[in-house]
Amino acid sequence: MSPPVGQPPPGNSPSRTANPLGTAAAREKAAPPRQTAAVKGPVTTIEGLGTLDKLHPLQRAFIEEQACQCGYCGNGMVMSAKALLERNPAPTASQIRQALNGHLCRCASHNRIVRAVQRAAKEMRS
């Protein structure tokens, strides 16, 4: 008989169950540490991007394309897309995918996210 969901197998205490993230060494190999840089100037977070009365074009496009399904990746995707569009106001789909490559979308909404960034880019250029 299998143990209940979330419970260790019989004879294994929680302290003996596997850590899903692995050891520190394994985590470092899987996700190399990001370099840090001194920030010069203001830092914008998702909360400062737009307002309820006037959404940022990226926020509006993500809503219109239904790009955020569960909210797991939305903030990071929007902010990375904003940084991309500041550097490149007319990115290709491939460039968008490359810029957002470090984010994990659990809902598999990647195509909708790319369309949302393209839509926002077009709006921001006009």
Distance CA(71)–CA(61), nearest Å, equals: 15
Any idea what the CATH number is for the domain that residue 83 is in? Answer: 1.10.150.120
Q: Domain count for the chain, please give it.
A: 1
Q: State which residues form the domain around 116.
A: 54-125
The pTM of this model reads 0.69
Q: What is the pLDDT of residues 37-94, one digit of tens each?
A: 677 888 889 999 999 999 999 999 999 999 988 888 999 999 999 999 999 999 999 9
Distance CA(46)–CA(32), nearest Å, equals: 25
